[in-house]
């Protein structure tokens, strides 16, 4: 048996309203579910991004308790040809690019932060898959 793809992943945020505004405005994700105090769920391609209030998921009732302290990390895929447009878009949205990395084996990454300090990355798939 082998897992074939990631269906969902999550980050923990300290302000769900600010996170919702950021992920819809800056990254263009569609909100598909929410609990005002506990979570926001977003469609991202074929997967789902879950944003949780960590204080309310450590003692959850339906799923096993979970949570994290401190900033997490998540990478979104971008085509190499989209990098200039993403740089301009992030700047226009007031989002600072923390670091840009051209990887020795190929691939390009743009790093920035969400309102809760999570490290976000836009990267070309050639970072991990040189044939992409």
Instruction: Tell me how long the chain is.
Output: 132
Contact 8/39 with Cβ under 8 angstroms?
no
29 close to 42: Cβ distance less than 8 angstroms: yes
Average pLDDT of the chain, as a whole number? 94
Residue bearing tokens 């740089």: 87
Residue 105 pLDDT > 80, yes or no? yes
The answer as to whether 1 is a domain residue is no
Q: Is residue 21 part of a domain?
A: yes
| Residue 3 domain-assigned (yes or no) | no
Reading the block at residue 6, the tokens are 């990631």
Residue 127 tokens, joined: 């970072």
Q: Report pLDDT digits (tens) over 46-104.
A: 999 999 999 988 876 778 888 888 999 999 999 999 999 999 999 999 999 999 999 99
**Total domain count, the chain:** 1
- Helical segments of the chain, H only: 16-25, 54-57, 83-92
């Amino acid at each position: 048996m082998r897992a074939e793809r990631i269906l969902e992943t999550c980050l923990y945020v300290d302000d769900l309203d600010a996170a919702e505004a950021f992920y819809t405005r800056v990254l263009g994700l569609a909100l598909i579910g929410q609990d005002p105090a506990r979570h926001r769920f977003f469609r991202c391609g074929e997967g789902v991004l879950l944003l949780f209030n960590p204080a309310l998921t450590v003692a959850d009732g339906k799923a096993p308790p979970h949570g994290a302290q401190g900033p997490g990390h998540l990478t979104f895929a971008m085509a190499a040809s989209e990098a200039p447009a993403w740089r301009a878009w992030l700047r226009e949205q007031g989002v600072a690019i923390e670091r840009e990395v051209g990887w020795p084996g190929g691939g390009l990454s743009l790093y920035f932060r969400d309102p809760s300090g999570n490290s976000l990355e836009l990267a070309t798939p050639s970072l991990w898959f040189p044939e992409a």
